[in-house]
């Protein structure tokens, strides 16, 4: 493996964590008992279930199995100063990747085959690094709860219990959307090319293996300006909130714009030159660039 990127030795999550992630995590921590419930009650059972289900139905990547993907993982981990988790490839028609990590359990990343078919090797590494960002930022506990609540909310009959579950689900979905911005930054730190990360988002928005070579990244980034214009009045802001309230990810054009901006920031440049500093970014008031 030829290592060409700058390894970020001593990198900590707070060196790149998005301010919205900080804010939303602080809000979740104010809810009593969440961490204890997931770790002590759901953690052991969920950990065993997801691990067994995954190892039975996916391919474990290693130096002997899909070594090119294994090298992408190792390089990203070296850049982010992180111990490599297990990486699996799973047959699935929906382009997706996800992470499972409970404290005390073996963390692992899963990438769907359809996503691999859609992306270049650099873009696949960006996806892997995004998932590594969840591990670096220790998002595992709340991610697990969010996934379980999405399932539970659909199964509970309407009543007080369902109302509480749906209310908690809404707050967790807000947190997940914020956390994704931090993980996009991890993807940029690993690939060290903002256009690679933005290209992944473009292809997830409307790409296919046959269309990928025809897509125009600059035109996609220009879409963000039109999206921003919609929020210049109260009606546009309300429409955005209604459309995105149940989404687990911010809309792709906004994520691409955010990573394009951060790639030009002094914080990012300082990290590449091994001069990490606590981010001075502040989450702006609701209605600014926060708009999903």
Show which residues are catalytic.
131
Report the chain's terminal Cα–Cα distance, integer Å.
38
Q: Answer yes or no: are the C-beta atoms of 271 and 11 closer than 8 Å.
A: yes
Pairing of strands 97-100, 108-112: antiparallel
Percent helix, strand and coil across the chain, each rounded to 5?
A: 60, 5, 35
Distance of CA 41 to the CA centre of its chain: 25
Pairing of strands 97-100, 59-60: unpaired
The secondary structure of residue 288, as a DSSP letter, is S
Residues 6+ apart with CB under 8 A from 17: 137, 182, 185, 279
What whole-number distance in Å separates Cα of residue 233 and Cα of residue 230? 7
3-state secondary structure of 60: strand
């Amino acid at each position: 493996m030829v290592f060409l990127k700058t390894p970020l030795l001593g990198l900590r999550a707070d060196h790149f964590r998005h301010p919205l992630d900080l804010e939303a995590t602080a809000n979740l921590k104010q809810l009593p008992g969440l961490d204890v419930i997931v770790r002590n009650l759901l953690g052991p059972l969920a950990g065993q279930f997801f691990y067994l289900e995954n190892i039975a139905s996916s391919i474990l990547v290693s130096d002997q199995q899909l070594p090119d993907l294994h090298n992408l993982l190792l390089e990203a981990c070296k850049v982010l100063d992180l111990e490599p988790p297990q990486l699996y490839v799973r047959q699935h028609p929906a382009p997706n990747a996800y992470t499972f990590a409970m404290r005390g359990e073996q963390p692992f990343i899963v990438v769907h085959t359809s996503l691999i078919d859609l992306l270049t090797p650099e873009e696949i590494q960006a996806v892997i690094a995004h998932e590594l960002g969840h591990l670096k930022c220790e998002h595992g506990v709340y991610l697990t709860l969010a996934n379980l609540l999405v399932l539970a909310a659909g199964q509970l009959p309407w009543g007080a219990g369902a109302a509480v579950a749906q209310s908690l689900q809404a707050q967790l979905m807000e947190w997940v959307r914020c956390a994704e911005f931090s993980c996009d930054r991890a993807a940029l730190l690993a690939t060290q090319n903002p256009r690679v990360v933005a290209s992944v988002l473009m292809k997830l928005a409307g790409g296919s293996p046959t269309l990928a070579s025809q897509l125009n990244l600059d035109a996609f980034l220009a879409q963000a300006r039109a999206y921003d214009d919609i929020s210049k009045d109260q009606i546009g802001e309300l429409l955005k909130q209604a459309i995105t309230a149940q989404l687990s990810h911010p809309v792709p054009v906004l994520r691409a714009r955010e990573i394009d901006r951060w790639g030009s920031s002094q914080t990012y440049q300082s990290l590449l030159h091994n001069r990490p500093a606590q981010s001075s970014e502040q989450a702006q008031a609701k209605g600014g660039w926060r708009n999903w």
